[in-house]
């Protein structure tokens, strides 16, 4: 089997799997993150979140397990907090309570649904180390009336001398899902791995080669038909030649005899 045919089958199989499964892995994607939240519930200035979130490349609905790495720098321009980095080594990422996250090639789109009574859908990053208190949370709650909070806390020394710094936005009552993009529209750093792109190129090359072979076969059949000899013409061919043609299996459908041009010319020159 030729390499172009293998490539054709590979591309066709890849496309079939992609269409059949809305969750398609295309290689690690590194999303940039850029947010700035006003410190309106303690402290001063803004709390800026800059960095990256890395997924395993799955597109469509994803879980926290598809988020493999992150490095988020929390800084406090205009305030007193020192910069703190949240990574997968010192913090957790949580999607729970009915909240959802959907990945595209350039965005990480979240949805916090309106909660039923005593439901708590949330998406959050929060530190797991003692001392500092760092978190970035979208949380909806319902104790009778649904509401949703967007909270960013940067308290780099915990209960130390630096003032507690927080951004807090509250929506009560919550009448529609809260949606947004975790990247803040910052785009991506990386694209699907070169191997994936190479596979697509090889598949496209295979399809082109397959089409070329079909064209050549069609031309070949047209040429053979142009050399077909009708039965009335058989009188001009002697019996030995007809026996050679018949023994070669060249009688088609019992009506048309395909005679090689070189054979006819040889007999004519004898």
- The residue with greater pLDDT, 162 or 138, is 138
Looking at the predicted structure, is the pLDDT value of residue 64 above 90?
A: yes
* 211-221 pLDDT tens trace: 666 655 666 56
| pLDDT for position 141 | 98
* pLDDT at residue 255 is higher than 60: no
pLDDT of 168: 98
- Collapsing DSSP to helix, strand or coil, 105 comes out as coil
The residue-averaged pLDDT of 133-151 equals: 98
122, two tokens: 């949330």
Q: Which band of pLDDT confidence, cut at 50, 70 and 90, is reported for residue 266? A: very low
For 163-190, letters b (16+ CB in 10 Å) and e give ebbbbbeeeeebeebbebbbbbebebee
φ, ψ of residue 16 to 5 degrees: the values are -65, -45
Please give the model's pTM, rounded to 2 decimal places. 0.65
Spatial contact of 203 and 3, defined as CB atoms under 8 Å apart: no
pLDDT digits (tens, 9 = 90+) for 69-125: 999 999 999 999 999 999 999 999 999 999 999 999 999 999 999 999 999 999 999
Model pLDDT, residue 218:
64
Instruction: Using the predicted structure, report yes or no on whether residue 262 has a pLDDT greater than 50.
Output: no
> pLDDT band at residue 26, thresholds of 50, 70 and 90?
low
């Amino acid at each position: 089997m030729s390499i172009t045919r293998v490539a054709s089958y590979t591309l066709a199989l890849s496309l079939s799997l992609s269409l059949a499964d809305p969750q398609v892995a295309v290689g690690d994607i590194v999303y940039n993150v850029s947010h700035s939240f006003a410190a309106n519930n303690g402290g001063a200035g803004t709390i800026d979140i800059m960095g990256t979130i890395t997924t395993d490349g799955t597109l469509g609905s994803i879980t926290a397990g598809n988020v493999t790495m992150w490095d988020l720098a929390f800084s406090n321009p205009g305030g007193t907090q020192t910069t703190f980095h949240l990574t997968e080594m010192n913090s957790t990422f949580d999607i729970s309570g009915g909240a959802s996250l959907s990945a595209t090639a350039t965005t990480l789109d979240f949805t916090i649904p309106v909660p039923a009574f005593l439901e708590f859908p949330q998406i959050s990053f929060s530190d797991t180390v003692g001392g500092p208190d760092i978190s970035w949370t979208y949380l909806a709650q319902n104790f009778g009336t649904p509401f949703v909070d967007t909270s960013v806390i940067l308290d780099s020394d915990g209960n130390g001398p630096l003032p507690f710094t927080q951004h807090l936005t509250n929506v009560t009552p919550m009448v529609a899902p809260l949606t947004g993009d975790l990247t803040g529209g910052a785009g991506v750093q990386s694209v699907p791995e070169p191997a994936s792109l190479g596979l697509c190129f090889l598949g496209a090359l295979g399809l082109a080669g397959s089409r070329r072979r079909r064209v050549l076969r069609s031309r070949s059949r047209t040429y053979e038909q142009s050399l077909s000899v009708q039965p009335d013409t058989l009188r001009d061919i002697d019996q030995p030649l007809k026996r050679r043609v018949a023994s070669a299996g060249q009688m088609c459908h019992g009506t048309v005899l395909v005679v090689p041009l070189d054979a006819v010319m040889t007999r004519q020159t004898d």
